[in-house]
Amino acid sequence: MEALRVDLDDEELRVLDAKFPQSLASGVIGKRAVEIVKIHLRRVDPKCNFSRPRNGADLEVLFSNGQNRLVLEIKGTQASTVSWQKLKVSSKHSWRHLVEERIPLYRVTSVFGKSPSIIELLHDRDFTLEPEPRWCFKPKRSPTPTPSVTRLRESNAILVASTSRPSKYAPLADDLSRQKTKTVTLTFSEAKAVLGFSLPNSATKYQAFWANQTDTRLRPWARAWQDAGYRVESFKLHPTEGWVRFTRGKN
């Protein structure tokens, strides 16, 4: 995990201190963390728009190109590190966002400093959630070193996960690449047979799973069909009768 440092200018720091003065209250820390993330994203895309997602996450960002959309959970800390022992979620909503929908968590450290940092965390890549009885973040440890390196780049608001391991959704890309027809329809049961595992719950419940993405670096399922030259045309969300229809063409 790498941290992106956000160097605040004097005016930005003054406004933050006026709105969210230094406090031990978690509400103040959380709101200040959200504002710091907004400052960073405005530097990346001055014309981006922010809203509070209806699903209860902390922030939704729509970039000025009208295509890139980012939904975030954001948690702040006064510490200069991730501070795992204090990183917790207490609601089922947050658990669902992080685990089932794989919404990125932006951990903002040193929230009251002039140079706070943003660290992106993804469930099952960087942490697991364990009830204690609140959901407690535990760093993900691998028995062998992994080549994955996370970098948050100034040219893009989204943290890039680079890895040499093939995606588990690669069989879908291979299957679509072999198709001769312009349109391919797969039931969710057929998709399970192609992939060798069941689709996640989010695929049968949330439209966002089947969205065609401009940036697929954190969405390997979308990268699979787009690498094969297809895009999602339509779908039906249902745990047993669901299906998705792909059409070959420009992504």
> To the nearest whole percent, how much of the chain has pLDDT over 90?
53
pLDDT for res 153? 47
- Give yes or no: residues 214 and 148 share one domain: no
- Give yes or no: residues 155 and 176 share one domain: no
- 215 within 8 A of 156, measured Cβ to Cβ: yes
- Give yes or no: residues 92 and 174 share one domain: no
pLDDT band at 137 (very low <50, low <70, confident <90, very high): confident
- Give yes or no: residues 40 and 59 share one domain: yes
- Give yes or no: residues 178 and 210 share one domain: yes
Domain, as residue range, for 39: 4-162
- Give yes or no: residues 176 and 241 share one domain: yes
pLDDT band at 162 (very low <50, low <70, confident <90, very high): very low
- Tally of CB atoms within 10 A around 158: 19
- Give yes or no: residues 126 and 36 share one domain: yes
- Give yes or no: residues 230 and 111 share one domain: no
Residues 6+ apart with CB under 8 A from 194: 171, 172, 175, 186
pLDDT band at 156 (very low <50, low <70, confident <90, very high): very low
- Give yes or no: residues 130 and 185 share one domain: no
| Overall average pLDDT of the 237-242 stretch | 91
pLDDT for res 106? 95
* Count of domains observed in the chain: 2
Q: In terms of pLDDT, which residue wins out, 56 or 158?
A: 56
Residues comprising the chain, all counted: 251
pLDDT for res 95? 83
